[in-house]
Structure 1
Amino acid sequence: MWGVLAGVIAAALVAYPLAACIAFATHPATRRLFGERLSSASQAGFQAFWWVTALLCAALPLAVGFGIARLSGRVLAVVGAGVALLVVLVVVLAQFFAF
């Protein structure tokens, strides 16, 4: 039951960034929001980045809920490593596409 609660809380925290990622991926005018920084990025690369980010944001509540439900040290370490990998991946891809 704690896993479901943690997943719902994580989903509530991720709902707005998830909606923003989907909006950035689907609306062609959103590239203009980032100014000249994205002038060298292709449209496909821009959309791919935001779709990957949206998928990772959508998977985060499931990973949190599963990790809390199992509550063993090994599973929590795997979930923590996954979250750390998610953060590193988003930061690296954002630096790659934005700067």
Structure 2
Amino acid sequence: MSSKAQQHEEAMNVTDGKSGLWGFLVGLIVAAFIAIPLSAAFSFATHPNTQQLFSGRLDEASQGGYTAFWWLATIFLAALPFLAGYAVANLSRKSLTIVGAIIALFIIATLVLGQLFLVV
């Protein structure tokens, strides 16, 4: 292979050393998508009187359980852009397994907490 062809091939690979930037970009895009749900979850977590907005469906839920559920949802939504950026930046089997396990644990914890404090 001639040196000119080798230089052209190296120039065509624009992703070398830029995985961190791709991870940042994906994290930024995910943050833009979850901005409104994050704001809503934070407002539900900090204002327990919003429990009345759910038209009596959460009357049996305790005030602490309602607040804890929304704080957990807020933490998960805030961590989601960082997890997505990390997964894209590393793109290895190990990093994708770690991110998948963290997301699965958050979902399981949210479901358990929701069922624990909401006995309908």
TM range (shorter): 0.7 to 0.9
Contact 1:6 1:64 in 2 (8 A): yes
Structure 2 residue identity aligned to 1:68: V
Relative to total residues, which structure has the larger helix share, 1 or 2? 1
Question: Equivalents in 1 of 2:55, 2:113: separation in Å?
Answer: 17
Question: Equivalents in 1 of 2:105, 2:67: separation in Å?
Answer: 21
Aligned to 2:27: 7
TM-score (norm 2): 0.71
CA offset at residue 97 of structure 1? 4.0
Aligned to 2:10: none
1:94 aligns with 2:114: yes
- Quick one: structure 1 residues 13 and 97, their matched pair in 2 at CA, closer, same or farther if it must change by over 3 Å? farther
TM-score (norm 1): 0.84
Q: Which runs of 5+ in 2 are unaligned?
A: 1-20
Choose the corresponding residue for 1:82, options 86, 102, 106: 102
Choose the corresponding residue for 1:21, options 18, 41, 47: 41
Aligned to 1:54: 74
Question: Equivalents in 2 of 1:21, 1:37: separation in Å?
Answer: 18
1:31 aligns with 2:51: yes
Question: Equivalents in 2 of 1:88, 1:14: separation in Å?
Answer: 20
Q: Which runs of 5+ in 1 are unaligned?
A: none
CA offset at residue 92 of structure 1? 4.0
SS in structure 2 of the partner of residue 38 of structure 1: coil
Q: Deviations over 1:44-88 (max 9, x none)?
A: 211111111101110111111111111111111221222233334
Contact 1:38 1:97 in 2 (8 A): no
